[in-house]
Structure formats: C-alpha cells, structure tokens
C-alpha cells in the first residue's frame, strides 16, 4: 500500500512542476487520466476486442502512459509545434534575462539571472 502512495505522491509532484497554464499540457493530462481511468470506471469497456489487445487496454497505467507519451510527442515535438523557438544565448538574452547557458542540466527550472 505504501508503494502505491509513493507513486501517487510522485505523480502529483510531476503535475505540480508541469505548466498546466499551457492548453496543450492541460489537454494531455486530462485525456491521459480519462483514458487511464476508463477501465476502472466502466465495467468491461473492451470486451468486444481480441484477448491480446484487451490485456494492454485493461491496464489503466499502460493506457494512460502511452496516451501521454503520444500526445506529448504530437503537441511538443511535432513539426507543426507553434511554440518552437531557438534556444537563448548570452548575447540574445541580455540583462535581466535567463540565458540558456545558465540553466544547469540537473534542474532546468532553476537558473541564475544576470544583472548588468
């Protein structure tokens, strides 16, 4: 039971770090959770499918993870990504801005801000 609680806490922490103000991220989380909870909330939703496919689809974790990975790849790494920008450099960032070279590999959410 403790293992499941730890997994839930880690998942909530990951959601807290994500930018849910971005509509695509909100959509990814909502659809993944919805499809992941489908086998739990509805009895036998995949009963008409072949047994091999049912094994995969009846696992909410597998469906949710696969859905999140596919939607993330489509929205954030596809060729039509509208938010794609070139990484900032020290020259482009300017004073008071976070430069790409200032962001550490360990934690990309913390950065040093240069004041000129």
Provide the pLDDT for residue 20: 86
- pLDDT at residue 18 is higher than 80: yes
The tens digit of pLDDT for each residue in 38-60 reads 888 988 888 888 998 888 888 88
The tens digit of pLDDT for each residue in 51-99 reads 988 888 888 889 999 999 999 999 888 777 765 554 545 455 555 555 5
Which ranges of 42-93 would DSSP assign to H, the alpha helix? 51-57, 60-77, 90-93
Calculate helix-pair angle for 23-41, 60-77, nearest 10 degrees: 160
User: Residue 80 corresponds to which tokens in the numbers above?
Assistant: 């039509």
């Amino acid at each position: 039971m403790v293992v499941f609680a730890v997994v839930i806490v880690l998942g909530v922490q990951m959601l807290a770090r994500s930018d849910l103000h971005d509509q695509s991220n909100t959509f990814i989380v909502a659809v993944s959770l919805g499809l992941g909870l489908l086998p739990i909330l509805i009895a036998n939703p995949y009963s008409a499918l072949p047994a091999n496919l049912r094994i995969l689809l009846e696992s909410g974790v597998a469906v949710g993870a696969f859905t999140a990975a596919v939607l993330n790849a489509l929205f954030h790494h596809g060729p039509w990504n509208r938010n794609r920008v070139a990484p900032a450099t020290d020259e482009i960032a300017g004073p008071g801005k976070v430069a790409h070279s200032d962001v550490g590999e360990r934690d990309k959410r913390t950065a040093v801000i240069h004041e000129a």
